[in-house]
Structure 1
Amino acid sequence: MDPQIPESFNHRTEKLSTGRTYHFVDQLPVGYHPKRNATILCVHGFPDIWYGWRHQIGPWVHLGCRIVVPDMLGYGGTSKPSDPAEYSTKKLCTDLAALLDLLEVRKAVLIGHDWGSYTVGRFALWYPDRLHALIMLSVPYTPPSRQYMPIEKVAKRAPNLGYQVYFSNPKSSQDILSHLDKFLALVYQPPHSKSIDFTPLGVLEHLLLHAPDHKNPHLLTDKEYDYYRAQLSKGMVGPLNYYRTSKFRHDEELAAKLPANLPADLPYLFLWGTKDATATPFVINKSRKFISRYQDVAIEGRGHWLMVEAKDEVTQVIGNWLEGLTCSKPARHQEGSKL
């Protein structure tokens, strides 16, 4: 398994019981036995693919874990329905449960980043009996809301989410596909004093359509960049549909009367970069109220793309935490630590 060679991982493509086809990496440890080796299911966010976990797969396999990493719906080699309703979190979680069924895995450790973080948090509500532990990166847990709030109103309260108003507009799919190089360079820029803040309302659309092209430094090697570009060139409707599901998600969660709290006995870890604008202290502190076995680790000076920016820290912290679960239960409401 070489992070610079996507083909060096074990790829599979299977049709799930939900009718959707998923491409995923399925990496088994030496001497794998389903009753002795835990399964870790890694869920990527936007605009990412299975490859976002390239630095973690090998080391976690060497810990003796089976690592399963899908291209999520709309990405890479996975089905790409055009209807936003197909991307509701309930349906995504049903797909993930079906993937575990296909692999004959009853319970797994779920790890998610960005949209994947939100998705695995909801998986713990929709399928609480399918998790050994829950790990969320960069996007804190938020409980289901009893009141629906459109993204336009959300962006007025949280200006750093203004870009989501643009993403919710179907027009953005073609805009971004047509300016994919510029978009990727913006999204994968490292956190530093010269970073371009594209999050306020209207800024990203202006940068894509009207700002002159220039070489922005980014976190990817040339090989990595080329691979991402090739995969995302397959279409941006699916990836952006995640931002067009807020009403569907709200209605499904309200109808199911999903609880606000995560299961009280579920081991939980949150990792976040102190330079990540999406992980605000207010939202992080709010999330603590809904999680009994809360633990978090702040990674100093790092931004949103933790699996790349802090690849060694993420790999080691999560590996050590998972090994610790087999020895003792984590302390209730443990205060966050820093790296």
Structure 2
Amino acid sequence: MPDSAISVATGQINDARARKALRPSIAGFFDEATNTVSYVVHDPATGEAAIVDSVLDYQAASGRTSYGSADRIIEYVKSHDLTVVWLIETHAHADHISAAPYLQEKLGGKLAIGAEIVRVQEVFGKLFNAGTDFERDGSQFDHLFTDGERFALGDITGIALHVPGHTPADMAFIIGDAAFVGDTIFMPDFGTARADFPGGDARQLFQSIRRLLSLPDETRLFLCHDYKAPGRDDYAWETTVGQQRRENIHVKDGVSEEDFVTMRTERDKALDMPKLIMPSVQVNIRGGHLPEPEDNGVSYIKIPVNAV
């Protein structure tokens, strides 16, 4: 059966390439502490902007938060006279805490994530014993995107794609001729994301990646992370569909689904858990908000013992 969302996205990408006015401007902000790239993407004609996968600075040893990374984004938005209409999360991150609530307070915009976040909230709500006060319906977000849903960034059309595998709720967002692919693929010399978190699935991840790689070769791909593959001295986070199809060490053209699943499963067994997974997940399933303060006015992050 033809993939209607991909067909629409392909037409949009080709149109954006033909009509340069529909190509978004994109600025990446790399946070070396978490190897995360946040983006400000905007329509040059109207100044309407989206912020993708922002980072709240967090010191695990002290439990202190700060806003240096987010303030860099605020400075950029204000210096370019942009209007933020979307604060987009590609998924509930396990390696950093989102700064979306802080950015929303300062800049406005709707906070959005994929509709399958409810599955992640259910799993981790139980793990952290969040209780009945924690809603598991995605209501912490202003909007829940569904697969193939269109949205606007000024005069530029965006399309949301459900790309599960890393988690059940991962989304990619195509804006003009650019795709923000979250934790699906990395730079070609580093490969692909892990698929061993609760609800993750290596077979689904392969299928999601191949779906993305069915977009036109010239599609610009913007990645959520970079870890500098061995032999590479600089961080990088922009590639293309064509380059990934030719060069990705895990999932380039010619790699079978079975070979990928075997590789990914064995590789994941050797990986440590992300350093910030416990604070990150329990905050990010709340839309980036800390747990409600207790009777002493302090918020607490739980660390389950011997539970995972």
Tell me the TM-score normalised to structure 1 length.
0.27
Tell me the TM-score normalised to structure 2 length.
0.29
Higher fraction of strand: 2
